[in-house]
Amino acid sequence: MTADRPSPPNSDLSRVTVAINGRKFRMACEDGQEAHLRRLANDLDQRIGRLRGEFGEIGNTRLTVMAALTISDELVQVSGRLRALERELAALQDARVAAADHARATQAAVAAALNAAAERLEGITRRLNRTLPPDDESIAARGAKVASSGGTDRAEKAVPSMVAAGRSND
């Protein structure tokens, strides 16, 4: 197989001579595609050779047609697999979009729950701050009062009686 330069001066086509089933064919292809055309011709020649080995000498035309049909069959099968893979890819892309949407919704729900919890904690903190004495002197005075009452303040004493009465509010 040899590659010849194109004969027309302004053509981007190259000429390649290939051998298929013992015959030489002069073919034209785009410049730079010569090796690819040689591989295709070699593949066809090998297919014809395998068919000849399998079926014997049944005629060159018949062997060439059988080789063309096997190539066509492979093309149909590969095209079917390609369409199935394209459908699977589309389904996976749809699933990815759905998963991303779900993740965004989950993230928003978690953020909302955290914000609500933070607001509740802030409210509890405000209520607790209102019930505490306003300065350090009051805290010291309260500590002294607790110490003088035997180590417990009124709130601690009230808890057991409320629990005993069944009025505990957790």
Copy the structure tokens of residue 117. 């919890």
- Choose among 18, 61, 65: nearest CA to 42: 18
Close Cβ partners of 24 (under 8 Å, ≥ 6 residues apart): 17, 18
| Token pair listed for 22 | 């013992």
Residue 98 has pLDDT above 70, yes or no: yes
CA dist 82 and 120 (Å) reads 56
Give the pLDDT confidence of 61-78 residue by residue, as tens digits.
999 999 999 999 999 999
pLDDT at 15: 95
Give percent of the chain above pLDDT 90.
Answer: 64
More confident residue, 136 or 27: 27
Predicted confidence at residue 158, as pLDDT, reads 44
Tokens of 83: 């369409």
6 is written with which tokens?
């194109």
d(CA 150, CA 156): 11
CA 167 – CA 159 distance, rounded (Å):
9
CA distance 24 to 1: 8
**Mean pLDDT value of segment 117-141:** 80
Q: Which pTM value belongs to this model?
A: 0.52
> pLDDT tens across 102-119, in order?
999 999 999 999 999 999
The closest alpha carbon to 39, from 50, 51, 27, 53, belongs to 27
Identify the weakest region by mean pLDDT among 3-12, 35-44, 84-93, 159-168: 159-168
